[in-house]
Amino acid sequence: MASEDEEFTMLFQDFYPSLCRFLECLLGGRAPLAQDLAQESFLQLHRTAWGTIPVGEARFWLYRVARNMAINEFRKSHTRYRLFDRVVEVMSPRARNPEQEYETQERKTLVLEMLQTLPEDQRTALLLREQEQLSYREIGQVLNISESKVKVDIFRARASLRERWNKVSGLSRCAGLGN
Q: Does 121 bind another protein (CB under 8 A)?
A: no
DSSP letter string over 116-152?
Answer: HTS-HHHHHHHHHHHTT---HHHHHHHHT--HHHHHH
β partners of residue 53: 50
Tell me which of 67, 136, 138, 141 binds another protein, using CB under 8 A: 136
Looking at residues 64 to 103 of the shown chain, list those that interact with another protein (rule: CB under 8 A): 72, 76, 89, 92-93
Q: Does 104 bind another protein (CB under 8 A)?
A: yes
Q: Does 144 bind another protein (CB under 8 A)?
A: no
Phi, psi (degrees; rounded to nearest 5) at 7: -60, -45
Site track for another protein across 37-56, x = CB under 8 A: -xx--xx--xxxxxxx----
Cα–Cα distance between 13 and 103 in angstroms, integer?
28
Tell me which of 35, 57, 145, 149 binds another protein, using CB under 8 A: 35
